[in-house]
Structure formats: structure tokens, C-alpha cells
Structure 1
């Protein structure tokens, strides 16, 4: 059986908003999982997990364990594109989110869209 398509990619700012209890993030995730999946690139997950503690850390682990959550590893074939986006955004985790969104024809859920430029589809959430 083919898994549902990835419709949304979360970046670190969206994950921080999620653990802070953002209704906006919850609403978007609810809409996405009705007919698709959301993704978290591994570099994004690593950054979020490394900078989170306590009950928020447990909430991230639960989120990453959901059936409709796809943890995406970087691919060697994306090295040039990841490097381009790292230079543009200034962050490896944001580069991974941009490449994942473009690869899967999805939007990035973010509270910091200014770093992505105009080429990545974004859904903004309040920080």
C-alpha cells in the first residue's frame, strides 16, 4: 500500500510553536493528516530535540512517532541543493526543510519564513 503523500514539512520554529501549545500548528496538522502526511527532516528533528527538555521533549517524541509523521533523512543526491539552501538560509536544518518541501511539492510550516526566500512555499504560524 502506498503511503499518503507528504503535504507539509515542519521546521524547528514550527516544532517549537507546537510544544508551546500553538493552536495554529495543531489546526494545520489536523488538516494535513486527513488525506496526507507531514514530514520532519532529520536535521530539523535533531535541532529540535537537542534544544528541548522535559515534557516538551516527550511531546516531540510522541509527534515523531505518529503514523502520519515521516522522518526524512537527507539524501546524498541532494548535496548540491542542500548546500545552496544552507548558504541561503544560514542553517542546515532550514536547508533540509526547504529541500524536503521542494522534493515533495509541499509547504514548510514556519514562524521564520524570511530566511527561505520566495522559492519555497510557506505556511506561516505565529512564533
Structure 2
């Protein structure tokens, strides 16, 4: 099995933190960008939520247009696990982030680790 080029998935809270100038998120992005071929996963539902919360920040465009950024969507066939996970975490964007991370074998960077507390083992979460 080959390792996914996506090293970390940013949930909406991490994306919003980036738009607000978070050094912690910036450092993670820089570390991933320094690794040849590595990418940062940006779930489309998390981007939409971050856009809504941050009123369309220019920094959101900066993040999306980074060479190491990869916009991701949940697999349509995973609608049922998405629904179940959404019931556990309480938000569709957070559910999509964690399911994508699990599918890719990486972690979710989040400023809201409590969202994922109901997942087995707390989920693949890295708090900022």
C-alpha cells in the first residue's frame, strides 16, 4: 500500500484559525509543504463553513491556492458513514473532515477537538 500524499486534513476551525493568522496552523502547513509531494487536505464542506464564518477572507484564497493544498470531497458512496459520523460529531463539515482523514490514513488538525470526543479513541485528531 502506498502512503497518501495528504499528510493532514484541516477542519473548518483550523481553516478559520489560518485566516486569522494562527502561527500553529501556519507551521503545520509549512512542514507539509517542505515535504516533497506532500499535501494538505481541505474538505470542501470545511472550506464552505470557514468561508461563512470568516466572511470570505483573502487568506482563505491564499490557503486554497497553495501548491500543496488539495480540495477534497467525501465519497458519495460514504453517505451512510457520513450521516452516522455527523450524528456523533454534530456537524456535517466536521464529519466529512474526519471521514476523509480516516480514508487517507492521516489526522485532522482542529481548534475544536471536543467535537470529535464521541468518536472511538477521540478520532485521528491533532489539536491546535
TM-score of the alignment, normalized to the shorter chain, above 0.5: yes
Write the distance in 2 (CA, Å) between the matches of 1:7 and 1:59.
21
Deviations 1:31-61 (A, max 9, x none): 112221111111101111122226xx11101
Write the distance in 2 (CA, Å) between the matches of 1:85 and 1:98.
8
Aligned to 2:40: 38
* Match for residue 126 of structure 2 among 102, 111, 123: 123
Write the distance in 2 (CA, Å) between the matches of 1:91 and 1:53.
19
Unaligned segments of structure 1, at least 5 residues: none
Aligned to 1:110: 110
SS at the partner of 1:8?
strand
Alignment: residue pair count: 120
Aligned to 2:96: 96
CA contact (8 A) 2:16 2:53 kept: no
Measured on the aligned residues, the alpha-carbon RMSD in Å equals 1.4
Deviations 1:72-124 (A, max 9, x none): 02221111111111001000000010111101111100011122132521111
TM-score (normalised: structure 1): 0.88
Unaligned segments of structure 2, at least 5 residues: none
TM-score (normalised: structure 2): 0.87
CA offset at residue 9 of structure 1?
0.4
- Which structure 2 residues correspond to residues 1-127 of structure 1 after superposition, within 5 A? 5-35=5-35, 36-53=38-55, 57-117=57-117, 118-125=121-128
